[in-house]
Structure 1
Amino acid sequence: MKTIVFFNNKGGVGKTTLVYHFTYMLAELGYKSLAIDLDPQANLTSMFLSDSRLQEIYDNELSRPTILESIRPLNRGTSDIQIAHIENINDKIGLLAGDLELSLFEDKLSSSWGNCLNRDEAAFRIVSSFYRVIAEANHRFGADFNIIDIGPNFGAINRATLIAADYVIVPMAADLFSLQGLKNLGNRLEDWHTQWEDRVSRNPEPTLALPKGDMKPLGYVIMQHGIKESRPVKSYLKWANRIPQVFRQFVLKDNVHSNIAVENDEYCIALLKHYHSLIPMAMEARKPIFLLKPSEGAIGAHLGAVRNSYSDFKALTEKILSIIGS
């Protein structure tokens, strides 16, 4: 089981769209994945599911088939985690649907983080709940990967999710605020790893499965860069070429000065281009842009863009698999 979280505390960079397309490309390459929506905005869920299915799920006030149901007994203090419902998107993709009410679990997670220091078993069960729910669902679905989408913040939900991750990929825009977000991210991952190691040593119940808190940064993906003659334009390069040094210094904690250009940086997983009018087509068809067909509007120049997007996301996915394999 390999768990990958896509995260940046700078929002609006196309993170959820990246998670969605990456999951589908893994399926194209023959891998089975479990997509987990732990962003209380539930945008990933809305991308995967039809409007009618979304209404069925969220109109059910008594027992919604979302990830919230699997942790609700813990939040109420009545029991431990429950088996999560898996939405079968296809034979290669399963989904643990998100829930707007997941944000109500934030306070419980926050207080439990501190209570772990007091060797409180209930606190450890709460902090490890996402990890244990996902592990059980992964085993039941038989997935090769868990792919997790979370919100752009450093709250308790994201902390509990990130300590459950094997790998972290950072979606970015090439701008000042994304660079600042990258600096914040590196410092926070290091702090959480150290704090979790201390807490794990105090766990009073040795049979309780706990995450390792590895959170290994794999690299970054620059979203929606402009292109001119197949190369990023100057306005993007101004900020993009600062990313390699910032990523090394603040995320990898390597203080050796580097003048590596982003296009030559081994940690730059991909530079993803604009796909403009393909996005609304894909949203209407409820599928990734690289699987659009002529009957769905992908004709003429659009058809060429669809083929290019397939190549782009395939290269991105194969690079991630290669990094993990090495």
Structure 2
Amino acid sequence: MISIALFSNKSGVGTTTLTYHLAHMFQRMNHRVLAVDLDPQSNLTSAFLDEDDLAIIWEGPETPVWGEARDRGSTGTVATSVLPIMEGTGDVRSFDPVEILDGLWLIPGDLRLSTFEDRLSAAWPRCRTGEADALRTTTAFYRIIVDAAARVDADIVLIDVGPNLGAVSRAALLAADNVLIPLAADLLSLRGLQNLGPTLRLWRSVWRGAILPQVPPGIVAPEDVMAPLGYVIIQPTMRLDRPVNAYRRWLTRIPYVFHDAVLDEPGTAAEDTRDYEIATLRNYQSLMSLAHDARKPMFDLTAADGALGSTQSYVRKCRAEFAQLAKRVLERLSST
């Protein structure tokens, strides 16, 4: 099993859209894919499931609330799984992931996951002394993912992580072998990358150096965590008063900032050596609303979905770009 967290410190760069479409593309490349929604906003879950499914999972009569544990049978959300930890009554509960397609499954997110933040934050410093309950709390997401992946025999796990550096994001990133970072070619993304990089390195260092040696044999815990896989650039929506050249200065700085902030290798990048740039994707904003209404990936839109005339050529370009992106991700994984 290979796990990849898609994470950016800046919202609005398309992290969830990227996760959703990569999951579908890997599935059609005959991989068994588990998508995991660890963003408390749960946008990935909303992309995969319609309102009727969401009502059953989130608002149904068997939906647990904190302080009231109920049996949900064989399905549940991430928040349902960590409910015993939240209540102090036990360890994570295991559920079957939701089957989206043959070869594609989802661990649904839940807005209640945000209430897990304080528990995770309090557990982190206590992990250094090997306290078992703190270690079980910190590794909860990882153990949920390992169990779900084994249930469906997944070979690729894609984890959607919220755009912040809080305790939920830290625990989500600890559950991943690799981190793929979506970026826009703008100042805010660059500043976010400068903020994100040192924090990722710190978390990884603390986990591997101070915490992992304290983990007892009875607790399943991640070892090789948060290795930087690279970044994907999402092109901005062009306006007539803001030509492409206006973004060039940010594009040329991205390799330097990535090597400096994320890899801690200042001065090793060159403009023409974008070795960690996985792909550059055009902005498919015009297709997103159609895809949302059709409840399918943008690259599967047909005339019946409203993708008429020249829009079909745009759909084909989208399909080709995401196929190439998936191929490059696999190549990058095999070379690391």
1:276 pairs with one of 285, 291, 297: 285
Q: Is the 8 A contact 2:178 2:225 kept in 1?
A: yes
- How far 1:60 moved relative to its partner? 2.1
Task: Give deviations 1:215-253, integer Å, cap 9, x for gaps.
Answer: 11111111133579xxx9212212111101100111111
Task: Give deviations 1:12-68, integer Å, cap 9, x for gaps.
Answer: 111101110111110111111100001000000000011211122221254352111
1:217 has 2:265 as partner:
no
Partners of 1:212 and 1:189 lie apart in 2 by 15
Paired-residue identity, %:
42
Partners of 1:225 and 1:208 lie apart in 2 by 44
Partners of 2:136 and 2:250 lie apart in 1 by 42
Q: What does 1:1-326 align with in structure 2 at a 5 Å threshold?
A: 1-60=1-60, 62-63=62-63, 65-197=76-208, 198-203=210-215, 205-225=216-236, 233-261=244-272, 265-326=274-335
Distance 1:257 1:324, change over 3 A: closer
Structure 2 gap segments, 5+ residues each: 65-75
Partners of 2:100 and 2:92 lie apart in 1 by 24
- How far 1:214 moved relative to its partner? 2.2
Q: Which amino acid aligns with 1:135?
A: V
Q: Which amino acid aligns with 2:46?
A: S
Distance 1:50 1:170, change over 3 A: same
Q: Is the 8 A contact 1:218 1:323 kept in 2?
A: yes
Q: Which amino acid aligns with 1:195?
A: V
Partners of 1:249 and 1:255 lie apart in 2 by 4
Task: Give deviations 1:101-121, integer Å, cap 9, x for gaps.
Answer: 001111111111111123211
Q: Is the 8 A contact 2:161 2:173 kept in 1?
A: no
Partners of 1:277 and 1:201 lie apart in 2 by 50
Partners of 1:31 and 1:47 lie apart in 2 by 20
- How far 1:213 moved relative to its partner? 4.7
Task: Give deviations 1:182-226, integer Å, cap 9, x for gaps.
Answer: 1111101111011112011122x2221111152111111111335
Partners of 2:12 and 2:6 lie apart in 1 by 13
TM-score (ref. length: structure 2): 0.92
Q: Is the 8 A contact 1:3 1:166 kept in 2?
A: yes
Partners of 1:41 and 1:57 lie apart in 2 by 15
Secondary structure of the 2:181 match is strand
Q: Which amino acid aligns with 1:183?
A: Q
TM-score (ref. length: structure 1): 0.94
Secondary structure of the 1:148 match is strand
Secondary structure of the 1:191 match is helix
Structure 1 gap segments, 5+ residues each: none
